[in-house]
Amino acid sequence: MENNYFSISSRSSAQVGSLMKSVYMWMTLALGITGIVALYVSQNTMLMQSIFSNSIMFWGLMIAEFVLVMIISARIHRMAFSTALILFMVYSLINGLTLSVIFVIYTKASVATTFFVTAGTFGVMSLIGFFTKKDLSKFGGILFMLLIGLVIATVVNIFWANDNLYWIITYAGVLIFVGLTVYDTNKIKRMLEMCPEENEMTQKIALLGALTLYLDFINLFLYLLRLLGDRK
């Protein structure tokens, strides 16, 4: 009986580890698509003008991003895994189109430096979230409220354009998404641990986790770019 217990525990741990590898693999693939598309578009004057000189095109892309995230998050359990994966990749592609502007605003060297700083910070925080034994569920509500406050402050500052508030939002954004990276990694791990076996449903949970961590990474990168980026 004791040997059986340990074999089950070991197999469960290996299963979670395998699924977490899938989470990071899909997240990395999506980041790669976003980065390649953003760099390519930034070097194509015609595409840049089509996106950013046409308000209908720009806001259409922004709305499409929002709708895709909502569809994936709300309906992933009902759709086929392949469909959800395709939608995720399409979202990362569209995100690359809209993020191409950073290569126009900031130098490529500072974008690259910020990316590696973000990757290092994200990696450390995600490892903490994965290996910690503490229950982090109580922090979920706090982080969500802080995120809502961040969004409201950002919208307010679009009209107010206050430099002090801009920097407060920037530093707060870094701290919030550092916290979310730890919390979301821990939450994904706990959700996968509750799955009795590896099947299409667990793959969907892993894919949704990849989308969550992708969003954490992108937002952390953008806030750090405000601090570390050299404007042209």
CA distance 95 to 104: 16
How much is the pLDDT for 12?
Answer: 62
For 77, counting Cβ atoms within 10 Å of its Cβ (0-12 exposed, 13-18 middle, 19+ buried), the class is: exposed
Residue 7 reports pLDDT greater than 50: no
Residue 5 reports pLDDT greater than 60: no
pTM of the model: 0.93
9 touches 69 (CB < 8 A): no
CA distance 132 to 53: 47
DSSP annotation of 181: H
Task: Please list, in sequence order, all residues whose beta carbon lies within 8 angstroms of the beta carbon of residue 172, skipping any fewer than 6 positions away.
Answer: 146, 150, 153
> What residue segments make up the domains of the chain, in order of their start?
2-228
pLDDT in tens, 28-47: 999 999 999 999 999 999 99
How much is the pLDDT for 2?
Answer: 41
Residue 97 in tokens: 């189109």
CA distance 200 to 203: 5
pLDDT in tens, 86-143: 999 999 999 999 999 999 999 999 999 999 999 999 999 999 999 999 989 999 999 9
Any alpha helices (H) in the chain, and if so which ranges?
2-42, 45-52, 55-75, 81-99, 102-105, 108-131, 138-160, 163-193, 200-228
